[in-house]
Amino acid sequence: MPLISLHDRAALAARFRTDPALHLFELGDLDDTLWPNTTWYTAAPDSGHGPVALLYSGGDTPVLLAFARPAGLPPLEALLRDLRPFLPRRFMAGLPDGAEQALAPDYAVERRTPLLRMLLTAELPAEVAHETMPLGLDDVEDVRALLAASYPDSWFDPRMLAGGGYAGVREHGRLLAVAGVHVHSPAQRVAVLGNVTTHPDARGRGLARACVTALCHRLAATTDHLGLNVRTDNAPAIRLYERLGFTTVATYNELVLGATG
């Protein structure tokens, strides 16, 4: 089937708002700061309700996002098969379980990370005792150093520091814990938390909890749908998020895919 490239932000938002928990990233990428780095595809003929694939090119590695609930998986696989000639040689992808088979044999999975998508469904968690502070662009090197020490596989976009999208805990000037956002769109009223981590020397003290809590309160005025992703094997983090009022709403795989030819 031929592909259609989509350019109408309002129409895209209407599609994704039928299931905002599943499409938090797509809604966030409609924001003015991220929109220029996006390309959107669907299959022809377009009913206005079919699956959409997003190719984001704003980072070091391109990212493909294409989600559907199980009932919509066959149309999504058909879209991915048609998209293969237009994909880069190596990219990251967020896909439902099994959807990557539609990209074979042209692409092989180099890394697979099963994730939970969790959404804040309870009242905002109570503030905790640790003092947190907003981080900005002046803190970028400290954030990079902390992520390198405690979360080397993280995806970090320094631009998110410019809008106050990070909270941190410092002791004696040293950054020990952070929580940030991967996407935040006040216009779409969505945000996805990310890069929640504590330095190995300071774990077990509730510092990450304090950062997440502070960030939730800071985002509340501009966010109706606040979510995050967590590895399925990270039981301590899942318990923490559940205590803070997050509920699992979807599962999918974060993949690194490379061309086989």
Mean pLDDT of 232-245: 94
pLDDT (0 to 100) of residue 31: 93
DSSP type of residue 26: H
Token representation of residue 211: 């950062």
Crossing angle of the two packed helices 207-219 and 235-243, in degrees rounded to 10: 50
Q: What is the pLDDT of residues 182-225, one digit of tens each?
A: 999 999 999 999 999 999 999 989 999 999 999 999 999 999 99
Q: What is the CA radius of gyration of the chain?
A: 18
What is the residue whose two structure tokens read 């989509």? 6
Token representation of residue 221: 């005025």
Mean pLDDT of 232-260: 95
**pLDDT above 80 (res 128):** no
In degrees, rounded to 5, the angle at the alpha carbon of residue 224 between the alpha carbons of residues 219 and 225 is 90
**Model pTM score:** 0.91
The number of angstroms, rounded, from the C-alpha of 60 to the middle of its chain's C-alpha atoms is: 16
- Cβ burial of 4 (10 Å; 0-12, 13-18, 19+) is middle
pLDDT (0 to 100) of residue 158: 84
Mean predicted lDDT score pLDDT of the chain: 92
Q: What is the pLDDT of residues 31-83, one digit of tens each?
A: 998 999 999 999 988 877 889 999 999 878 899 999 988 766 889 999 999 99
Mean pLDDT of 131-144: 93
Mean pLDDT of 227-249: 95
- What is d(CA 112, CA 109) in angstroms, rounded to the nearest whole number? 7
Q: What is the pLDDT of residues 150-192, one digit of tens each?
A: 988 888 888 888 877 899 999 999 999 999 999 999 999 999 9
Torsion of CA 112, 60, 89, 53, to 10 degrees: 70
